[in-house]
Structure 1
Amino acid sequence: MTTFMNDPTMPTPSFPGSHMVMDDRYVFISGLTVSDLSNGHAVKGDIKEETRLVMRAISRMLEMEGGSLADALRVDVHLSDLNTLSDMDSVYAEFFEPSRYPARTCTESPTICGGCHVEITVMATRQLPED
């Protein structure tokens, strides 16, 4: 069974979509930016701060479903400037165990919604309660 859900701690998406979609095996989290976390207003910050805020939100969303970032299988990262990759990576790496990083794609997207510097999307294994 597929469940479509919005995180009750965040503003309702301004786009026609859901924050999370879950089926029996996976959790899919829509691309998140600091603009999504702050009701459409970009939080002024550098790439490190934006990455930290978005990764914390993703971690919390996975925890709401009984999982964690350790369950992440795939991550897509969009940066407004690919020259900030090493700064983003320095924060991103803090959220995973060394040598246990999910598969990842990182692209430059000069115009990210809300004027943000980073947008992150996650696909994770769903931790279902045991019978």
Structure 2
Amino acid sequence: MKEVIYTDQAPAPIGPYSQAIKVNGFLFVSGQVAIDVAASGDIQAETRKVMENIGAILQAAGLDYSNIVKASIFVKDLNNFGAINEVYGSFFTSESGAPHHPARETVEVARLPRDVNVEISVIAVAV
């Protein structure tokens, strides 16, 4: 059975898609952006907001960052790779302090919705 996940703690979809879909123990989170923060030009603040949006959706599904098994990062300027990694990586520390990083790819793209600088989508699994 498929369940649509929605929270008002993350941006509402700007098109015909859901924030996330939960099916067979998997959660597929649509690409998240930080519309309000993007205009500031601070890639770390933008990345942090994107990850907080993802966290809100995970929470609405009864999951957290430790449930993420796969992430896709789309970025307008790959020169921001290090700054994005610094923030992104800070969201994946276990209670013991050891990192638990999901599988991932990072792709530079020509343009993103609403002219943001970074978009991240994830797949999580209830274990």
TM-score by length of 1: 0.85
Give unpaired runs (5+ residues) of structure 2: none
- Name the structure 2 match of 1:122: 122
1:30-55 CA distances to partner (integer Å, 9 max, x unpaired)?
A: 001112xx5xx944231101100010
Q: How does 1:1-131 map to 2 (within 5 A)?
A: 1-35=1-35, 38=36, 42-97=38-93, 98-126=98-126
Shift of 1:6: 2.8
Q: List structure 1 runs of 4+ shifted beyond 6 angstroms.
A: none
Q: Distance in 2 between matches of 1:89 and 1:77?
A: 10
Whether the aligned pair in 2 keeps the contact of 1:7 and 1:20 (CA below 8 Å) is no
**Aligned-CA RMSD value:** 1.7
In structure 2, what is the Cα distance between the partners aligned to 1:59 and 1:34? 13
More deviation, 42-51/56-65: 42-51
Q: Provide the aligned length of Structure 1 versus Structure 2.
A: 123
The alpha carbon displacement at 1:24 in A equals: 2.4
